Structure 1
Amino acid sequence: MDHYIDIRLRPDPDFPEPMLMGALYNKLHRALFDLEANDVGVSFPGHKHGIRARTLGDHLRLHGPHARLKQLMGADWLTGMRDHVSVSEALAVPASAKHINVARKQFNTGSPSRAKRYAKRHNISEDEARQIYAKLAERRIELPFVQINSRSTQQRFSLFIEHSKAHENAVAGAFNHYGLSSNATVPWF
């Protein structure tokens, strides 16, 4: 993770910021999937969390080796978005950067099929399982998210994104086709 590219959304009176970030992130996902890239991570320096402010912001930062970032940007994945974004060159990460993990966070929201499976696995009634899941679903989710169309499953879902606290040491590892990792870190500055 020695280089990064900043992509910033330009203000647009016709499209809200979350819609533009969703379109941008979906395009990035498709590009990472098509390149079979596992060495590109993302962060959202302007993200906000809280019940009323769950947004990824207007700033997407790509992290990776210089050669991979150049390959990604040469793939023309920003077609249709160029009027809505400003893109930096691939730049070296500052030496003073700390490191964070940016990962997907999944929540049990209490779907009927989940409650039914839970009841079967734990040998309880479906009503009891529904009550357990209802308590879980009551928790307010405060993380920022984006609506994603999965390239592999064709499913649409909410992708909740969690940024860890910053720490001094980098952790190497692979990233998925959303630029997220359960353990690897990206520079944070």
Structure 2
Amino acid sequence: MDHYIDLRLRPDPDFPPAMLMGALYGRLHRALFDLDANDIGVSFPDHKTGVKARTPGDRLRLHGTQQSLAQLMTQPWLAGMRELVEIAETLPVPDDALHRVVRRRQFKTGNDSQVKRYARRHAIDLEEAQAKFAHTNGPRIPLPFVSLSSRSSQQRFALFIEHGEPQPTPISGHFNHYGLSQEATVPWFF
């Protein structure tokens, strides 16, 4: 994790930034999957937390070695989006950078699939399961998220992203095909 590339969304009058970030991040996921890359991490330097302000921001930062980032950027994953994204050059990570774990967080939100699953597991009808979940207030999730489509089920879902506390030393490890890890850190700087 000694180099990085910043990808910044350009303002677009037709599409909100959250929609563009979802499209960009979805393409990155497919590229990481196709490369079977586990050595590229991501962060969202301009993310905001809070129930009313949660957003990943308009900048996606890719972290890795110069070689792994170069291999990713030679792939055609940005085709059709290049006019919507400013791509900075690959740069070395500053010496004084801190480090953070950037991970996926999942929440039980009482959505339709959870209601259906509950009805099946408890052998009750759908209306009874819906009534059980109707009076529960869903969690108020303060984390930024990206709206994506699942490659396997084609269902839309919210990928909630948590940036852990900054720490002085890096922790090595593997990243999933979303560029996230439960234990490995990415450099953190502005």
RMSD: 2.0
Q: Give the structure 1 partner of residue 93 of structure 2.
A: 93
Q: Give the structure 2 partner of residue 112 of structure 1.
A: 115
Q: Give the structure 1 partner of residue 185 of structure 2.
A: 185
2:21 is aligned with 1:21: yes
**Alpha-carbon distance in 1 for matches of 2:37, 2:45:** 22
Larger displacement relative to structure 2 (158-167 or 141-150): 141-150
- Any stretches of 5+ residues in structure 2 without a counterpart? none
Q: Give the structure 2 partner of residue 173 of structure 1.
A: 173
Deviation at 1:90, TM superposition (A): 1.1
**TM score, norm. by length of structure 1:** 0.88
Q: Give the conservation status (yes or no) of the 8 Å contact 1:171–1:184.
A: yes
**Alpha-carbon distance in 1 for matches of 2:60, 2:99:** 16
**Alpha-carbon distance in 1 for matches of 2:139, 2:156:** 22
**Alpha-carbon distance in 2 for matches of 1:10, 1:3:** 23
**TM score, norm. by length of structure 2:** 0.87
Note the alpha carbon deviations across 1:66-123, whole angstroms, 9 max, x for none.
1010000000210111111111111100010000010000001122145457769xxx
Q: Give the conservation status (yes or no) of the 8 Å contact 1:40–1:62.
A: yes
Question: Secondary structure of the equivalent of 1:60?
Answer: strand
Note the alpha carbon deviations across 1:149-171, whole angstroms, 9 max, x for none.
23344432110001011010111
**Alpha-carbon distance in 1 for matches of 2:88, 2:59:** 11
Question: Secondary structure of the equivalent of 2:49?
Answer: coil
Question: Secondary structure of the equivalent of 1:101?
Answer: strand
Structure 2 CA distance for partners of 1:43 and 1:109, relative to 1, 3 Å: same
**Alpha-carbon distance in 2 for matches of 1:16, 1:161:** 19
Structure 2 CA distance for partners of 1:106 and 1:94, relative to 1, 3 Å: same
Note the alpha carbon deviations across 1:4-29, whole angstroms, 9 max, x for none.
00000111111111011111001100
Structure 1 residue runs of 4 or more that deviate by more than 3 Å after TM superposition:
113-120, 152-155
**Alpha-carbon distance in 2 for matches of 1:77, 1:93:** 24
Q: Give the structure 2 partner of residue 40 of structure 1.
A: 40
Note the alpha carbon deviations across 1:20-77, whole angstroms, 9 max, x for none.
1111001100100100000000000000111111110000000011101000000021
Residue pairs, 1:137-148, within 5 angstroms? 137-148=137-148
Residue pairs, 1:52-131, within 5 angstroms? 52-110=52-110, 111-116=114-119, 130=132
Q: Give the structure 1 partner of residue 155 of structure 2.
A: 155
Q: Give the conservation status (yes or no) of the 8 Å contact 1:5–1:63.
A: yes
**Alpha-carbon distance in 2 for matches of 1:180, 1:98:** 17
**Alpha-carbon distance in 2 for matches of 1:134, 1:140:** 15
Q: Give the conservation status (yes or no) of the 8 Å contact 1:29–1:151.
A: no
